[in-house]
Every structure is written in C-alpha cells, then in structure tokens.
Amino acid sequence: MAEQGKTSEYLVVYEKTPTGYSAYVPDLPSCISTGPTLQDTKKNMQEAIGGHLSVMREFGDAIPLPTTTAEPMKIPA
C-alpha cells in the first residue's frame, strides 16, 4: 500500500481513438480519461489520477502500489 505524501509512478496507457485519445491506469481500476489531443489527455489523466487517489483516501480505501510495467517489443514481420 502506498503511503500518503509519498510519490508513486503509475503506468498510464494512451490509446488513439477516432475523436482523440483515451487513457487508463491498469493499477487503478476505473481511473480513465480522454481528450482531443495527446497533450490534453495527459493533463486530464494527471488530474484524474489525483482525484481518484483523493477519493480513495477519503473513503479509507487502500492505495495500491504501482505494479504494472511496459516496454515495446519488436516482432518480425
């Protein structure tokens, strides 16, 4: 469980959509955001994570530690 006041680094997945971008955090279920540009979506996602964690703290929910990692993988064509 992450401690309040400490900094954590959560993986955010960004996906291109027909109208812009969507984003989600695998380690924070239901924490999602969207935006017309990638830059807007990143800003919105930062606010969404902050709000999500704030509500979890307010309700006394345990804040999960980040566990998801990612890396690109080249696959031969």
pTM (2 decimals)?
0.84
Overall number of domains in the chain: 1
Domain that holds residue 45: 35-60
| Residue 29 covered by a domain | no
**pLDDT 10s digits, 21-69:** 999 999 999 999 999 999 999 999 999 999 999 999 999 999 999 999 9
- The β-bridge partners of 16 are 21
Q: Is 22 helix (H, G, I), strand (E, B) or coil?
A: strand
| Residue 3 covered by a domain | no
| Residue 75 covered by a domain | no
| Residue 19 covered by a domain | no
Answer whether residue 1 shows pLDDT above 60.
no
Judge contact between 35 and 20, C-beta under 8 A. Answer: yes
| Residue 51 covered by a domain | yes
In our burial notation (b when 16+ CB lie closer than 10 A, e otherwise), range 45-75 reads beebbeebbeebeeeeeebbeeeeeeeeeee
Q: Is 17 helix (H, G, I), strand (E, B) or coil?
A: strand
| Residue 39 covered by a domain | yes
